Amino acid sequence: MSFEPARHAHQAGAASRASALETARTEAAAELARRRSYNRTYMRRWRKDPHHRARERRRSSIALRRHQNAQTLHELRGGMKEFGKPLCAMCRHKPPVMIVERLRATMTGFLRVDLPYCGEC
């Protein structure tokens, strides 16, 4: 029976390819979670510095003006490129796969905004 071992080898190959793909997916998700967690703790640390907070307050007037200038909610949400395709509000290149919540600094405090996010950048 020459086909028996060959079939098993084929199945084993497919299984290992599938598990390699699964491993890659898991690793990518773990990497993304690591990066987000790092970004979050980094920003928390950054805001603890009074100089940084002062700089953020100065910049908040710019943020407020930008917000007021955003004529529609659509524009605030990252806008659309030509052909009406929605884009990630962070990189403005990839199509968004989820909406993330962010705080924007304004003159009076923070403004909660929902932004489209590609999940990769």
Judged by the rule CB under 5 A, the positions of this chain that interact with Zn ion are 88, 90-91, 94, 118, 121
Nearer to Zn ion, 25 or 92 (CB): 92
> Shortest distance, CB of residue 81 to Zn ion, whole angstroms?
13
Q: How many CA atoms lie within 13 A of 35 on its CB side?
A: 9
> Shortest distance, CB of residue 35 to Zn ion, whole angstroms?
12
Nearer to Zn ion, 54 or 98 (CB): 98
> Shortest distance, CB of residue 115 to Zn ion, whole angstroms?
10
> Shortest distance, CB of residue 20 to Zn ion, whole angstroms?
26
Q: Do the beta carbons of residue 115 and residue 103 sit within 8 Å?
A: no
Nearer to Zn ion, 91 or 107 (CB): 91
Nearer to Zn ion, 63 or 118 (CB): 118
Which ranges in the chain belong to alpha helices (H)?
3-48, 50-69, 73-76
Which among 86, 87, 61, 78 is positioned nearest to 113, based on CA atoms? 78
Which among 112, 102, 89, 111 is positioned nearest to 39, based on CA atoms? 102
The residue to which tokens 């890659």 are assigned: 24
